[in-house]
Structure 1
Amino acid sequence: MSSIALDRPVTAVKPITVPAPGRAVGLAVKVTAPLSGRNLPVLVFSHGNAWSMDGYEPLVDRWAAAGFVVVQPTHLDSRRNGIGWDDPRFATVWRVRIADLHAVLDGLDDILLRAGDLGPRTDRGRLSVVGHSWGAQTAGALLGARVLDADGVPGEDFSHPAVSAGALLAATGTGETLTPFAAEHLPFMRPDYSTLTAPTLVVAGGRDQSSLSTRGPEWFTDAYHLSPSPMSLLTLAEGEHTLGGLAGERVAETTDEDPARVALVADAVSAYLLDALKVDTDPWAALTDAAATGDGTWSMTSK
């Protein structure tokens, strides 16, 4: 299905500290990259709630093998920081998450320098952001999405001018159908996708039933349906919220473990971004051809 070469060795460097004045806990990142290659595009990844830079290896290693320099920050809501739902700082964590991605992108030169020889091997003109779950809403903000306030008024623009494209995995839907718990603890979960204008791949699971919304799995396709073109939607018929186990093998949150599904997600993101960043159009063409003749376990639409 994919024409991406995935046999090149990769290496990871961590932790690398990133300046983030005023942050309650210091910001650290992990950088994973291929050992060889030049003009490498950059992918900044935002993890889901409670995770850290040490998760999502099945995705990150595959992206690095496909030729990306992957930068993973540990957000403030990571389990290791002990900031739970009832912590008074939690109400603003969504803003800190967005600020983390901005700090990474703005400090990218120093991050690459401290990660070894990556500086001269990286193409800073080809930057993308990707996120899973809460991380998808975080990444979406840098792609142009906004957050509606209680009166439905869009908040500030957090998009980053250096970001050219992205991917949203199991992204939060609109906020009109939040459960009482979500409405109380996650009032920021009210995205406005009408301003998400950067080319974006949305990935959704056909069996992803969220406990935060009264809607069904289609909730996770809002980012595609409510945003302008150009967009693509990859739907995994049997995928649940971890889409087969994105965060790692046999992690507690995974209820639909399927390594092949995870590989498909990883390769689809790589193919989409390589095409959108004008690095290589062949893998995305191969993927769309495969979707047209697939077995029904996954589908692709674009607009």
Structure 2
Amino acid sequence: MSKPFTEAAAIPIGDSTPVMTFSPVVLSVPGRVVDLEIKVSAPATGSGLPVILLSHGHGPSNFVSSLHGYAPLANFWAAHGFVVIQPTHLDAKMLGLREAETPEAPLYWRSRAEDMRFILDRLDQIEAAVPGLGGRMDRSRIAAVGHSLGGHTVGMLCGQDVTDPVDGKAVNLLDPRIKAGVLLAAPGRGEDLAAFASKHYPVLGSTSFANMTTPALIVVGENDWNPRFSDRKDWRSDAYDLSPGPKCKLTLFGAEHGLGGVAAYDAAETTDENPERVAALRALVWSYLRTALYPEDAAWSQACAALKNAPNPPGIIECK
């Protein structure tokens, strides 16, 4: 008989609660080619709830890279006390805009960050649209989490710099309303971008972490390396190595770009499918954000100790 998968991989965490999910909440954004649609997941009960903005990646699926994806993360965090807000960015394959005649295609890198900022501007509207959510969000405790290109989006909100490849102007979209970030398998330093990515995704060639000052957790897969993006096998650690503190890095042993399957349940494109790895990742991210948003909460130190003392730890943490 095989062992059942766990919820949190022995990382100490509270009991889960039922989750309510509502979508789409439709926001009309001036100048945006289509309305911004979001999904909101929240605990069925409780007040003073912290908020996570969750930015999807630029993956190959039709619907995973949208508000419909990342259920293994969103459901868990909502069941453990967070309101999770997931936008569908303009690069979502389901929208059919990746090959549009616009300078921002295919990544829509600036629009992605602006989506997140617009959501923060419209929290009153979102609360009013979601039955049972009114008055339950704590606007002072907001975090942003993103996977892959979503990690790049979160990096920008945390102070990461890029240069617009069209006009050559420096862009910094730091948003002080976001108190902590989590970058999952995010792109690294621009100057080490490989030729393929430089041609297809030129904005990534200017990524700099020198001014990424917001506290953040950087999550990398030990085996997450693609020569089309960089010759350096540690490239995706740059957000930790090259940014000012306070920062922490979680390296997941054996993990590839999908980090065990964060984007969806049983997604065939996850080359390293491992539900127990996902269980550890989401519990560690929860613990990090609990302490980042509530400094008196010992969740992060307890999680770090549990990981270190595990007989077969799924990863290792370092902080600066």
> TM-score by structure 1 length?
0.94
The residue type paired with residue 152 of structure 2 is Q
CA distance in 2 between partners of 1:233 and 1:130 (Å): 14
CA distance in 2 between partners of 1:206 and 1:167 (Å): 17
Partner of 2:132: 117
Residue among 71, 78, 87 paired with 1:64:
78
Q: Matched residue of 2:284: which SS? A: helix
Residue among 68, 78, 86 paired with 1:54:
68
Is the Cα–Cα contact under 8 Å of residues 94 and 138 in structure 1 kept in the other structure?
Answer: yes
| Cα distance change on mapping 1:262 and 1:85 into 2, 3 Å | farther
Residue among 177, 193, 197 paired with 1:162:
177
Aligned ranges 1:60-99 → 2 under 5 Å: 60-84=74-98, 87-88=101-102, 89-90=104-105, 93-99=108-114
The residue type paired with residue 90 of structure 1 is A
Structure with greater helix share of residues: 1
Residue among 17, 22, 36 paired with 1:27:
36
Partner of 1:269: 285
CA distance in 1 between partners of 2:192 and 2:295 (Å): 40
The residue type paired with residue 180 of structure 1 is A
The residue type paired with residue 241 of structure 2 is H
Partner of 2:6: none
CA distance in 2 between partners of 1:139 and 1:59 (Å): 16
CA distance in 2 between partners of 1:287 and 1:215 (Å): 33
TM-superposed deviation, 1:172: 0.5
Q: Matched residue of 2:180: which SS? A: strand
Q: Matched residue of 1:195: which SS? A: coil
TM-superposed deviation, 1:210: 2.1
CA distance in 2 between partners of 1:273 and 1:243 (Å): 19
Is the Cα–Cα contact under 8 Å of residues 49 and 81 in structure 2 kept in the other structure?
Answer: yes
Percent of aligned pairs sharing the same letter: 40
Equivalenced residues, count: 301
TM-superposed deviation, 1:247: 0.8
1:235 aligns with 2:254: no
CA distance in 2 between partners of 1:154 and 1:220 (Å): 25
CA distance in 1 between partners of 2:169 and 2:318 (Å): 28
CA distance in 1 between partners of 2:261 and 2:227 (Å): 18
Question: Which range is displaced more, 224-233 or 119-128?
Answer: 119-128
Partner of 1:140: 155
> TM-score by structure 2 length?
0.89
Unaligned 5+ runs, structure 1:
none
TM-superposed deviation, 1:125: 0.7
After superposition, the C-alpha distances for 1:126-182 in whole angstroms (9 at most, x for unaligned) are: 0111100000000111111111467xx882220112111110000100122322221
Partner of 1:11: 20
Question: Which range is displaced more, 206-215 or 105-114?
Answer: 206-215
Aligned ranges 1:211-226 → 2 under 5 Å: 211-226=227-242
Is the Cα–Cα contact under 8 Å of residues 280 and 314 in structure 2 kept in the other structure?
Answer: no
Is the Cα–Cα contact under 8 Å of residues 5 and 65 in structure 1 kept in the other structure?
Answer: no
Is the Cα–Cα contact under 8 Å of residues 10 and 35 in structure 1 kept in the other structure?
Answer: yes
| Cα distance change on mapping 1:154 and 1:271 into 2, 3 Å | farther
Q: CA-atom RMSD, angstroms?
A: 1.8
Q: Matched residue of 2:50: which SS? A: strand
Residue among 240, 250, 269 paired with 1:253:
269
Question: Which range is displaced more, 293-302 or 183-192?
Answer: 293-302
Partner of 1:37: 46
| Cα distance change on mapping 1:159 and 1:302 into 2, 3 Å | same
| Cα distance change on mapping 1:6 and 1:262 into 2, 3 Å | farther
TM-superposed deviation, 1:11: 1.1
